[in-house]
Structure 1
Amino acid sequence: MNSHSFLDTPEGFRSGFVSFVGRPNTGKSTLTNALVGQKIAITADQPETTRHTIRGLVHRDDCQIVVVDTPGLHRPRTLLGERLNAVVKETYADVDVIGLTIPADEKIGPGDRWILENVRQVAPKTKIIGIVTKLDKGTRDQVGAQLLELHQLLSSHDEDAVVIPVSAVEQVQLEELVGVIRDALPEGPKFYPDDHVTDEDVEKRIAELIREAALAGLKDELPHSVAVDIDEMLPDEDRPGVLNIHAIMYLERPGQQRIIEGKDGRRFRRIVGNARKEIMALLGQNVYLDLRIKVLKNWQSDPKFLGRLGF
């Protein structure tokens, strides 16, 4: 990154890092994608889908916001869970602004308060903005009550607490949210060139798209047990313009393999087909996806294997 491209930073330009926190499934990744304007974080109906910290960039004339999408903070049950929590806490201690996300249609509960307490412990001085998400799911009265309650929750520590309702799906109030975040950021230069949308490497994005396809439509039993590793990516020698991607999906038990494969292998074929479509859209080229399944007992608690996957 050459430094001279940042000399044209206008007077009063603001830049910095923001992280959205909240219980699982409060719409953090969907919000990240909506603000960045491109799919960089995978979304699935299961809680705790995000595993890696992903940085997405929001460029405006007067600011550059780096959205750090992290795994959710939760009470860990495995070594993987402990390592994810450590990453999350490290991230919260480093960002300039934290957005606490609460869905419009769910009451604020002990889980939300637990998260807020944890965040305040690791980042006592960081500005926290209250964000009521999924505006399209709640009635006006629900949204009003939620904003009020969230404001009360935050203002016990910060008398200038700001709360804002948004709908990432319907693109409602996103610019207002950008404005609220911008105002809370320090003045500073751009960290990334204007054409950057994420710092996530391509292999990791592809592995995540395969994992997203595998999780689609599943119940809660599998999210933690699925890991995807890209073995190799090579241009096809016989078919110009085709990229061959060889990937391995790791599961923890044979029963999970049966779920992923489905009746007569139909589900597995659908996973490969859907993942391939998403990967082609990401890369802008034709792809052959060779996906194999390996069962690796209790990999979430195997330090060596977790290290290999980058945790």
Structure 2
Amino acid sequence: MELPTLEELPEGYRSGFVAVLGKPNVGKSTLINAFVGQKIAIISSKPQTTRRRLRGILTLPQAQIIFIDTPGIHFPKHKLGEYMVEAATRALRDIDLALFMVDVSQPPTREDEQIGRLLFLDPARKERPAPVILVLNKVDLLRPKKEEAHREAYLALGEFQEWLFLSATRGDNRERLLELIIEYLPLGPQYYPPDQVTDQEVRFMAAELIREQALEFLHQEVPHSVAVVVEEFQERREDLTYISATIHVEKASQKGIVLGQEGKTVKRIGTAARKEIETLLGKRVYLELWVKVSKKWRRDEGALRRLGYVLPKKE
């Protein structure tokens, strides 16, 4: 599909890349899913759910916004954590706008302060500065007597062009945030076809939906030790897709937990994931899951690469 030229677009058409940053579990993926109108990023109450950078695309009559969902910035404890923080940091390159998303129901943490330094003090950012909007999310959980203190503490983290309260789950102030985003985007063309909502391949999205259900059904440290790789993805019939995927864990004991008694846990993961993938594809899915021990994969750069955690080369 050919993209329209600037001359074919309405006068004053705007477009650009908007990085959404914040510490783990502040609602970045929830917001992007709501904006694009489709689940392109998995969601879990467990922190550090997003591991890779992905793009969500919203095309409007007057603008095209490419949201960049980033892993939550935190203090890493292993190679996977380092990969996630580097992926989030690189998302700041060549952007037109940054949304710094915080949990306003709580005061700023060390992670919030770290992101503030990255946005406002990092030398690389000074070469091509982009405006920053502070998004005070989870206002529905904020106690009124804490509102002023928390707001002022977050505003002290940097020189923000704009700020606003938001409830990503309820939708409070989302339209106002969208207006602000468009206002700060430059004039420009459409970078993606109007009906495209993400740049992710279907295989990756299927693997993420399986991992989402692993996060749902597993507890404590086990879900964070899980990686999912789709080994086969075949259209068997017009109305049926066959998918074979491997769930990687770090220890034999974790494999037993993922399998569950008589394989019941992995079956529940598979059933729930299959329904999500069928919704994504709009057709029936036959899903096979396997569980494999890949010892200490989160600490091994080679294992990370084999499991698909590869950063693009620095330009």
- After TM superposition, the score normalised by the length of structure 1 is 0.91
Which of 118, 122, 125 lines up with 1:123 in the alignment?
125
State how far apart, in whole Å, the 1-side matches of 2:96 and 2:49 are. Answer: 24
* Structure 2 partner of 1:272: 270
Structure 1 window deviating more from structure 2 (179-188 vs 256-265): it is: 256-265
Question: Does structure 1 retain, via aligned residues, the 8 Å contact 2:57–2:66?
Answer: yes
Instruction: Trace 1:1-311 onto structure 2 (pairs within 5 A).
Output: 2-4=2-4, 7-120=7-120, 121=122, 122-124=124-126, 125-155=129-159, 158=160, 161-236=161-236, 241-310=239-308, 311=310
Q: Which amino acid aligns with 1:138?
A: L
Q: Which amino acid aligns with 1:232?
A: E
Q: 1:152 to 1:116 in 2, by over 3 A?
A: closer
Question: Does structure 1 retain, via aligned residues, the 8 Å contact 2:54–2:70?
Answer: yes
Structure 1 window deviating more from structure 2 (1-10 vs 190-199): it is: 1-10
For these two proteins, the number of residue pairs brought into alignment is 305
Structure 1 residue 265, shift from structure 2 partner: 2.7
State how far apart, in whole Å, the 1-side matches of 2:119 and 2:50 are. Answer: 18
State how far apart, in whole Å, the 2-side matches of 1:213 and 1:292 are. Answer: 14
Structure 1 residue 232, shift from structure 2 partner: 0.6
Structure 1 residue 145, shift from structure 2 partner: 4.0
Summarize deviations over 1:141-166 as a string: whole Å, max 9, x none.
444543333233333xx5xx311111
Structure 1 residue 5, shift from structure 2 partner: 5.2
Where does the alignment leave 5 or more consecutive residues of structure 1 unmatched? none
Question: Does structure 1 retain, via aligned residues, the 8 Å contact 2:6–2:189?
Answer: yes
State how far apart, in whole Å, the 2-side matches of 1:234 and 1:190 are. Answer: 32
State how far apart, in whole Å, the 2-side matches of 1:226 and 1:150 are. Answer: 34
Where does the alignment leave 5 or more consecutive residues of structure 2 unmatched? 311-315
Q: Which amino acid aligns with 1:165?
A: F
Question: Does structure 2 retain, via aligned residues, the 8 Å contact 1:46–1:219?
Answer: no
Summarize deviations over 1:42-77 as a string: whole Å, max 9, x none.
011111111121100122222111000111222222
Q: 1:5 to 1:290 in 2, by over 3 A?
A: farther
State how far apart, in whole Å, the 2-side matches of 1:303 and 1:118 are. Answer: 25
Structure 1 residue 176, shift from structure 2 partner: 0.6
Question: Does structure 1 retain, via aligned residues, the 8 Å contact 2:240–2:283?
Answer: yes
Q: 1:307 to 1:7 in 2, by over 3 A?
A: farther
Q: Which amino acid aligns with 2:54?
A: I
State how far apart, in whole Å, the 1-side matches of 2:82 and 2:2 are. Answer: 37
